[in-house]
Chains A and B, each alone.
Chain A
Amino acid sequence: MENLDAARLQMAFTLIFHIVFACIGMVMPFFMVVSHYKWLKTRDQIYLTLTKSWQKGVAIFFVTGAVSGTALSFELGLLWPEFMKHAGPIIGMPFSLEGAAFFVEAIALGFYLYGWGKLPERFHWITGIIIGLSGVASGILVVAANGWMNAPSGFDYVNGEFLNIDPIQAMLNPAWFTQALHMTLAAFTATGFAVAGIHAYQVFKKRKVELHKKAFKIAITFGAIAAILQPISGDISAKDIAKRQPVKLAAMEAHYNTEKSAPLYIGGIVNPKTQEVKYKLALPGMLSFLAFGDFDAEVKGLNDFPEDEHPNVPMVHYAFQIMVGIGSILLFAGILYFISLKRKKWFNNHKYWLFFVVLAPMGFIALEAGWIVTEVGRQPWIIHKIMRTKDAVTPMPGIVFSFYTYVAVYLTLSVAVTWLMLRQIRVLNNSNY
């Protein structure tokens, strides 16, 4: 394996893990404070048990997120030193603010976890809110830094040098808002459906039904609302990418030739050699409409750009299809949940719970697929149109060994975390509230 490929795989691998930990650590505090609020309001013991159980989940995911995040903050430099040498100062602003937000989160978490029965109830609850808010702020700031890689701004690039650096303009780059909005909603959708799915499984298995139903309702409400809002954000993102990164949009749709009234492909098998997409469903004019709000608009095809600036088209296309496909299913499931609130008898139906169990991993699969679209779709650039990924990689040979080590450690960790969560649920089911 080449050094560049090994470095890319290691980065992708660690990010794929970190994103899961970070999203759960960022969204679960909200479930926890809602349950905590209900406990304070109703003094129903079930909510206290649930809050305490979720808080353990938050603690475990916060720490795994923090350590994998620490590893990433070094890895950026370890794997891409040339990138960090130039980009580090420019995108430092969101990272330093993220550090601050993360710190606030850690402090609030300290108060929250150890504050039971020691801090005034209201203050204690508020520290829970702070955990959630600072977590979301961290997420938005990190995504803003990624946005800069897609839409570099806040500097002049003259003869290979980065001059007149403006860190604030770099942070508020043209991509930050669309990406941050899309990612925040995705985090809520993915975590909401995942947590709801786990509790749905417990209801399905008829264990502590009352508790798990309450837990399910809290989690799915967040997930459903986010899933219903997501298409709006997706539309904003598509229009933004059509303008800024036409190559990425073309790869997402496996759209090779520039044409007016371009069709939207759903599914299909891409053959990059013949530039054909087989077995697809083509909706005439829809791509033009979705990208530019006009059925007749011209959409640039990949062939309009030099071949050495193309990303891996099939991978981007498939990832995009998976993301949109799952997003649509979750949108439908979200609406279904709100209907079920009116038709209470659905709650007694086995299949209702099974449906949500099946959906549990879906949000995260869509979220990872979305990041593959963003990251692989930007290739061969590490900084769009400024620096190529191959020019940023570390000169140290043998990254492949470091890659295998990370794979071994992270796989072990995920097995361990899953096992720990299972034990948590088992204990919860045996508790007497």
Chain B
Amino acid sequence: MTVVLVADDDADIRDLVAFKLEQAGFEVIAVEDGQTALDQARSRQPTLAVLDVSMPGLSGIDVCRMLRSEPATAGMLIIMLTARVQEQDVEGGFSAGADDYVTKPFSPRELVSRIQSLLSRARA
């Protein structure tokens, strides 16, 4: 089963994403802050991480940059979630090494299809 790490400090959104992903057949690790996300990513090596950009402490962008800089996690697929839509924010996410970017409010269905297309591109 494909393991997906979900990090968002908003409990409702975290549950929403986790529920939808489990329904789609993924095994989900849900965490509420950047540091825990980093620890879980290192120890459990999920195939893909969905990271909220603005979390207290380590932001999603910080986590993304750190995962990319460590050989064990450098190849992990990363999708950023953000409530900000200005270009510089999106560019910031991509320059930190994110594979894709989803802006809030997003459709859970759309998030799943973005995840699936990233996974199939990575397998190809």
Chains A and B bind each other: no
Which residues does A use to contact B, with CB under 8 Å? none
